[in-house]
Structure 1
Amino acid sequence: MEKLLHWSIAQQAGDKEALSKIGTPDPKALNQLFGGPDEASLMKESVMVVENPEVSNEDKIIALENLEMLIENLDNANNIENLKLWLPLLNILGNDSYNDEIRTLILSIIGIAVQNNNKSQSDFNKYDQGIKLLIELGEKSQDLDLKLKALFAISSFIRDYKPGYEKFEQLNGWNLITLDIKDNSPKLNLRVLSLIASILSNGLSPNTEAHLRKNNIGHKLAILLNDDAHPNLIDKTLNIISNLYHLKYEFTPEEKYEIDAGLETIEGLSDRLNLDDLETAKMSVSK
């Protein structure tokens, strides 16, 4: 508070040198000094706005965009559980009377809150309907943006978090692993590859390996090694192949043949790709 007082005096006097020495005060302290709501109150109010049937969709979207910015702060993301906001957020997400843009924003909020955040992952994991709802939206939604955000939220939730992955596996989340160079958009393929990377972040258990083989993962990765594909898509594919190699996953002879053929196809793009992953991918099929 003393720093805030010195800052206020320097601000009123226009003393730039003093302001530079003092630095920018804590926004929370400023809010308290001038009577503005703290961030926890703003988070609760944002959800209340969305739940209010009298509020327009446009204002609900603005409220969620504000919440999305707030939870980029780790402390605010971790405060979702303390404020008892996970359940209302999931109730909104599961209510198809809300439009796709609103539900897509909810998915984005979930994905950001749990991303690289073990506490929020654990908090979200308390709600059994959470991952179930994410998987249902990822599998059944006809809206591409909604599907992409569902996959993002799932990937964030299960990355480096085995309890989340175990629920994902139990709920047949592997049905989401659909890679297709012809029918899928590049964005969708990228999201599916990110999901595979998140699965592999939990290691290669016998069950995971069985799922990979059941899904013909080597074949699906090989079809993405195409010089017509976007370099980002090829790079992500090479990264997955590299991860599998480091996890000692053994491709079948047929898969090795297909991947090797794909690597030859993209040889001309090597200056635009991650060379470490490219070399590791070559090693994975050289045996």
Structure 2
Amino acid sequence: MDPSMNNLLKWSIENSVPNPDTTTDTSNGAPATTAAPRAPRSLSPTALHRLLLNTPSDSELMKNAMETIRSPTASLGDKITAFDNLEQLVENIDNANNLGMLGLWEPLVEELGALEEGRRMMGAWCIGTAVQNNEGAQGMLLSKVPTALPTLFALSQNDPHLTVRRKAIYALSSAIRNHQPAMDELLRHLPEDVKKEIGESIDASDMDNVDRLVNRLRAGAGS
């Protein structure tokens, strides 16, 4: 659920049911007493804003952005704007974790194969932002789209545009840090000469060795 809407739901429930802390017992003839009322849950400014103005939730905004990105009638400029909006939304960990539930991982990864340079670059950028320091999103990317990492690796080394190669490396770096399954998956797709140089296995929590791998990818990308 969208985090601000979840906050609104909890606020609504807690403020619409009797407070158990104020229940009194007069069965023994004693006068009724009232305990101090429980402090109500605060309503987040974002949830309050949406309640008053009926604005879309983050989940709706994410789905709308993807609809524009995938629309055959939207201009490239509109698609890039939608990508930019999506990238900002998935900076929020809750939103990034919702990508799987909303069915957005698959179409997002498919954008890595788009004809336009800008779409490939923005697709990689969104992926990198969503999985950065987010174990849940790292695992979801791997389970939802197992081809994502080899696709990003191919882009990082072979795409004709440097901007795309750089964002693909950013996405790979974000995906493998502190996430061993993603690291192992990437290593399986590296050329033998690269494996000989950096080793057959890398501990995803060893940042020095992770940086060595990322720097090797950058060297191969000419960046």
User: TM-score by structure 2 length?
Assistant: 0.67
Please tell me whether the aligned partners of residues 114 and 156 of structure 1 are also in contact (alpha carbons under 8 angstroms).
Answer: yes
**Which residue, out of 38, 44, 52, partners 2:63?**
44
Against the structure 1 CA distance between its residues 175 and 102, is the aligned structure 2 distance closer, same or farther, given a 3 Å change threshold?
A: farther
The yes-or-no answer on 1:162 pairing with 2:180 is yes
| Structure 1 residue 155: Cα displacement | 0.6
**Which residue, out of 130, 133, 142, partners 1:116?**
133
Please tell me whether the aligned partners of residues 93 and 106 of structure 1 are also in contact (alpha carbons under 8 angstroms).
Answer: yes
**Which residue, out of 154, 159, 163, partners 1:145?**
163
Alignment of 1:1-287 (within 5 A): 25-95=44-114, 97=115, 99-126=116-143, 127-172=145-190, 201-203=204-206
Q: May I ask how many residue pairs the two structures share in their alignment?
A: 171
Against the structure 1 CA distance between its residues 134 and 118, is the aligned structure 2 distance closer, same or farther, given a 3 Å change threshold?
A: same
Letter in 1 for 2:129: I
Please tell me whether the aligned partners of residues 71 and 112 of structure 1 are also in contact (alpha carbons under 8 angstroms).
Answer: yes
How high is the sequence identity, in percent, across the aligned residues? 30
Structure 2 residue ranges without an equivalent (≥5):
1-7, 12-41
Letter in 2 for 1:59: D
* In 2: Cα distance, 1:100 partner to 1:147 partner: 10
* In 2: Cα distance, 1:175 partner to 1:31 partner: 54
RMSD: 3.4
Query: Stretches of 4+ moved more than 6 A in 1?
Result: 173-177
* In 2: Cα distance, 1:62 partner to 1:174 partner: 39
What are the Cα deviations for residues 253-284 of structure 1, in whole angstroms up to 9, with x where unaligned? xxxxxxxxxxxxxxxxxxxxxxxxxxxxxxxx
Please tell me whether the aligned partners of residues 139 and 176 of structure 1 are also in contact (alpha carbons under 8 angstroms).
Answer: no
User: TM-score by structure 1 length?
Assistant: 0.53
* In 2: Cα distance, 1:175 partner to 1:83 partner: 39
| Structure 1 residue 32: Cα displacement | 3.1
Against the structure 1 CA distance between its residues 61 and 175, is the aligned structure 2 distance closer, same or farther, given a 3 Å change threshold?
A: farther
- Structure with the largest fraction of helix: 1
